[in-house]
A and B are shown apart, each in its own frame.
Chain A
């Protein structure tokens, strides 16, 4: 039981890192990684939305989509987008401070393909409610890790002498390929279990 959860957590976080190995959520990875503090906040907000998504997807799968599997994509999109909207409204009401911290990132996250991917993977792999939550936490922490690493490198890059043609997205992609290569080293982590 615990072993399954640890396996799911490590797999989602490191071995199959959503951003660097599965190529999910690249828009924010390329766009919002200029500062470490921003990257960490976005990553944590992502984790939060992933948890909400996992819960909604579990409920949908359990009671609705069993009898109508052809509605899966449409249902996931609507439910996730509205859940995020409702959460945003709730946070604004109850904790204005937290809203200011997260506020601008929440709309960004809804369109992040990592969110929909989590719901789809969770369904395809037949995770239980608890396993789904672990998966969401692992994926969220993995995203946070990737965003933070990238932002740290890019902060140093500000003072580096990059060739004019590589400035912008090209150099970020090449750095990402290095990070991705490093994450491939984690593949050995899972083969033992």
Chain B
């Protein structure tokens, strides 16, 4: 039973390398679409700087653990795979914790306990189980890069809303006039829930609009199509 990789999901065509890379950025965006890794999305998005720092740290852990997991995927027994993945992730998180403390001490202090807590981010274990355990090293690295870019994008979106409304600045640069009274609440914990709620509302509104437009287009098409088909026949009849 040694070294049997998990079975392929039947009925699914193999994706191309570009798809693997781009999947995480928009279509399966971990934050905005899959709703994975909620805790950091709301906890450390008070400013854009922290959001980016968290995104980069998570990217470090995700890309390296994806590469490691896909390297050992044929050696790890199926029964102990989750424990193995967690251990691999925890090792890289510990590395990230030490590295950020040494390289960017300010960000390390601001992110606090949320760097060790990357271990608990379901995005990491989810990608290992869903992707890296079934794919080659190269593809897994691409998937890790895409997913972490998507995660950073999601964090930065929430961070942008919270920082602009909560302080009138973006990445420390003033964007709203000084006369703007900052909504301090957006920087505080309730703003985390509210800011992310706003982002999800906007996305839902966009998809709803798109769906309704498509429905209208389809309706127009069904109404006009028979007429257009009928037109030459009418011409001939005349």
Residues of A within 8 A of B (CB): 20-27, 30, 70-74, 77-78, 81, 111-113, 115-117, 120-121, 124, 164-166, 168-171, 173-174, 176-178, 180-181, 183-184
A170 touches B193 (CB 8 A): no
A74 touches B94 (CB 8 A): yes
Which residues from chain B contact A168 at a C-beta distance below 8 Å? 204
A66 to chain B, nearest CB (A): 16
A27 touches B122 (CB 8 A): yes
A157 to chain B, nearest CB (A): 14
Chain B interface size, under 10 / 10 to 19 / 20 to 34 / 35 or more? 35 or more
Which residues from chain A contact B191 at a C-beta distance below 8 Å? 177
Which residues from chain B contact A20 at a C-beta distance below 8 Å? 189
A173 touches B120 (CB 8 A): no
A173 touches B35 (CB 8 A): no
Which residues from chain B contact A72 at a C-beta distance below 8 Å? 94, 116
The SS class assigned to the A binding surface is helix
Most central of A113, A120, A168 by chain B CB within 10 Å: A113
Q: Give 28 CB contacts A-B under 8 Å.
A: A23-B43, A26-B38, A27-B38, A27-B39, A70-B94, A70-B98, A73-B90, A74-B90, A77-B90, A77-B119, A78-B83, A78-B90, A116-B120, A117-B117, A121-B113, A166-B204, A168-B204, A169-B35, A170-B200, A170-B201, A171-B197, A173-B193, A174-B193, A177-B191, A178-B190, A180-B189, A181-B190, A184-B188
Which residues from chain B contact A74 at a C-beta distance below 8 Å? 87, 90-91, 94
Is B208 engaged at the interface, CB distance under 8 Å to the other chain?
Answer: yes
Is B196 engaged at the interface, CB distance under 8 Å to the other chain?
Answer: yes
A120 touches B116 (CB 8 A): yes
Which residues from chain A contact B97 at a C-beta distance below 8 Å? 73
Which residues from chain B contact A26 at a C-beta distance below 8 Å? 38-39, 42
Is B93 engaged at the interface, CB distance under 8 Å to the other chain?
Answer: yes
B142 to chain A, nearest CB (A): 26
Which residues from chain B contact A70 at a C-beta distance below 8 Å? 94, 98
B204 touches A24 (CB 8 A): no
Measured between alpha carbons, how far is A20 from B117 in the docked complex, in Å?
Answer: 17
Which residues from chain B contact A71 at a C-beta distance below 8 Å? 94
B117 touches A116 (CB 8 A): yes
A92 to chain B, nearest CB (A): 19
Is B138 engaged at the interface, CB distance under 8 Å to the other chain?
Answer: no
Which residues from chain B contact A116 at a C-beta distance below 8 Å? 116-117, 119-120
**Of the candidates B43, B86, B188, B197, which one forms a contact with A77 in the assembled complex, judged by CB atoms under 8 Å apart?**
B86
